[in-house]
Chain A
């Protein structure tokens, strides 16, 4: 049982050890989706949702595998369940709220290869969080991801109007901005300790 307080876990996941800016997880969608604010917000929302669902599944799988002594199947079980979860979530949302489904659009399937989701499952298992801690961790991670995405989108929208040298355009300038954002987030270190 991990001794951290819920507040500490949340702050740690969202700010101090932000999944994108500190762990480099979810870079692909981060660079790909952060060009426009509207898409960034929607992607962030989808990620929070999938993270919560995956966190619960990962918790259940881990304890099931430990109970039957098959821990070595953990990675395969995680990846299979995450992929299926996204499929199920997609179908579920389609049924329950077609409007929401249209709003999320292509982003839901894109989340499957998002390293951040698997990273969440692995980290929470390594840290031996109990159920409530895991939920808070997932919430923090998702919100942190959304925050980073939204900040990035805001900056990139402004960058459209700036003169960026040819050689830096595209991925390079996005990475530099991400690096600066990462440095700023370091200011949160020690918070929640």
Chain B
């Protein structure tokens, strides 16, 4: 007489062994690759940032990063995240300008850009789009259209008499209708994208320009106090 053997309940040990063992193996693999690629990634990022900063501050040869402290001043930092601005200095060590990151909603998705502000000239002297998912052939003209980019050679952001806000906020106008130095000539066919750039710059400059003007001394001091 045959007895059908009772089905054994699923043994717990092989399951734990598999999950934990494979989990640890996977963890090790990831940590190994992470450690190996981190230096390369950091170096790439730093290099890309340098290139962008020098692109928006043409006269600069060295870059120093500052962070906004709780008291509203600036101090040198080696951080890569946070409320950072990047000051550019020329050979003589004089402040050429400050490169600031800003972002905002464009047509398709968030646009991230870097712009250079020169306190001496009370103007934005350069702008480069860092990240954008705008429509190729249309919205992404903001990155390449020479007439549009010419807007950023001397974009007026002078402060009002109280020194606490920008006198004329940046605005985008229809292509060819620019009359004042604080306006941006938009791109026909890429209205939303070019307006977005204007809005991003207006918001960011109204925040940072007064701060930088007021605490300019912190930035100059940052270079002078350098050790080597």
Contacts and interface: CB of A to CB of B under 8 A. Distances in A.
A54 interface: no
A130 interface: no
A189 B192 contact: yes
29 contacts: A3-B103, A3-B104, A3-B203, A8-B105, A12-B105, A16-B108, A17-B108, A17-B109, A72-B30, A72-B31, A72-B34, A73-B27, A73-B30, A76-B26, A76-B30, A127-B110, A189-B107, A189-B108, A189-B192, A190-B107, A190-B192, A192-B105, A193-B105, A193-B106, A193-B107, A193-B192, A193-B195, A193-B196, A193-B199
A12 B26 CA distance: 36
A192 B188 CA distance: 21
A4 interface: yes
B54 to A, nearest CB: 27
Top 5 A-B pairs, shortest CB-CB distance: A72-B34, A190-B192, A193-B105, A72-B30, A189-B107
Interface residues of B, number: 18
B151 to A, nearest CB: 20
Interface string A176-193: 000000000000011011
Interface in B103-135: 103-110
B155 to A, nearest CB: 21
Interface string B65-108: 00000000000000000000000000000000000000111111
A73 B110 CA distance: 26
What interface size band does chain A fall in? Answer: 10 to 19
Contacts of B199: 193
Nearest to B35: A72
Interface string B14-47: 0000000000001100110010000000000000
Contacts of B195: 193
Interface of A, helix, strand, loop or mixed by DSSP: loop
Contacts of B108: 16-17, 189
Interface of B: 26-27, 30-31, 34, 103-110, 192, 195-196, 199, 203
Interface of A: 3-4, 8, 12, 16-17, 72-73, 76, 127, 189-190, 192-193
Contacts of B106: 193
Given A127-B110, A189-B192, A193-B192, A4 B105 contact: yes
Given A8-B105, A189-B192, A193-B199, 9 more contacts: A12-B105, A16-B108, A72-B30, A73-B30, A76-B26, A189-B107, A189-B108, A190-B107, A193-B106
Nearest to B203: A3
Contacts of A3: 103-104, 203
A66 B105 CA distance: 26
Contacts of A192: 105
A156 B30 CA distance: 45
Contacts of B109: 17
Among A12, A190, A192, the most chain B Cβ lie within 10 Å of the Cβ of A190
Contacts of A4: 105
A8 B106 CA distance: 11
Contacts of B26: 76
A45 B105 CA distance: 29
A142 to B, nearest CB: 19
A76 B107 CA distance: 32
A193 to B, nearest CB: 5
A127 B104 CA distance: 11
